[in-house]
Structure 1
């Protein structure tokens, strides 16, 4: 590609980012064809406001009816509490795809009941073909895994519960 083409691509990406803001979108993906073997694939995304992110877990599980907040861990297995509000929740730092194992066919990084140390890899979130290792924020025990392997996640989506 020439320098002029590169400058045009940067202007194109900036225009896509402006479209995200103007229309309050969270993601755009475009493929620009230049010729037979020359193209540009662009995915531009931004995180959602906290009010929208807080609604995401309701699609993952249906909380049971009832008033008041349960004691920590008391009803976690029954799904009564909102996982995003749990003090041991590990949330996604980005939009991407969550992987529970380093590669297909291998053992998962962790499973329910495992003890983990601070900094130990819990899972990977792939974003734009970059594998981002998600470390344990503190030592503890994996109580719940809230995502399935290869599932899409948003910024702030609860991934696991550590206690």
Structure 2
């Protein structure tokens, strides 16, 4: 098995992403090099090389918060385009971007998702009225998770 020097800075960044996103495991691969960082249940595990032909572990099925069950098929469901932390206001203590009942225009910022220290504005895909806000401020979100409903 080939070995390589472990990039401590990369491991720290991956561990930071675990904390930011609420995930328990993250894996990074580049060519034959592979690093997996896991938290919880003991010490973090660091793997430097996957055996040839090894298949990645199956991902756990995403769980939906109870309020989001059944809303994923709603035609006005706005889903998260990435994994990160959702913020409902532009800064702590500020008024939220939108509230239930607010009218929004297509292209209007309705949330921010922080991913890898980058603030990504999430814009309304259509004009309408906010029917439901399904995330709380500073809540970790998964890719494809329903964030809000625009009627």
In structure 2, what is the Cα distance between the partners aligned to 1:116 and 1:28? 40
> What are structure 2's unaligned runs of at least 5 residues?
12-26, 40-57
State the 1:28 CA deviation. 3.8
State the 1:8 CA deviation. 7.5
Aligned to 2:112, the other structure's residue is in SS state strand
Map 1:31-70 → 2, pairs under 5 A = 52-53=61-62, 56-57=63-64, 60-61=65-66
The 4+ residue runs of structure 1 with deviation greater than 4 A are none
Map 1:65-104 → 2, pairs under 5 A = 82-104=70-92
In structure 1, what is the Cα distance between the partners aligned to 2:37 and 2:82? 16
Aligned to 1:118, the other structure's residue is in SS state coil
> What are structure 1's unaligned runs of at least 5 residues?
1-6, 31-47, 63-78
After superposition, the Cα gap between the structure-2 partners of 1:28 and 1:156, relative to the gap in structure 1 and judged at 3 Å, is: farther
* TM-score of the pair, normalised by structure 1: 0.57
After superposition, the Cα gap between the structure-2 partners of 1:52 and 1:99, relative to the gap in structure 1 and judged at 3 Å, is: same
In structure 2, what is the Cα distance between the partners aligned to 1:8 and 1:147? 37
In structure 2, what is the Cα distance between the partners aligned to 1:84 and 1:28? 30
Map 1:97-112 → 2, pairs under 5 A = 97-112=85-100
Aligned to 2:72, the other structure's residue is in SS state helix
Q: Number of aligned residue pairs: give it.
A: 109
State the 1:153 CA deviation. 0.2
Work out which of the two has the higher radius of gyration on C-alpha atoms and give 1 or 2.
1
Deviation track 1:65-124 (CA, whole Å, cap 9, x = no partner) reads xxxxxxxxxxxxxx8x61111110000000000000000011000000000000000000
Determine whether 1:132 maps to 2:137. no
In structure 2, what is the Cα distance between the partners aligned to 1:145 and 1:8? 42
In structure 2, what is the Cα distance between the partners aligned to 1:28 and 1:159? 27
Please identify which structure carries the higher helix content. Answer: 1
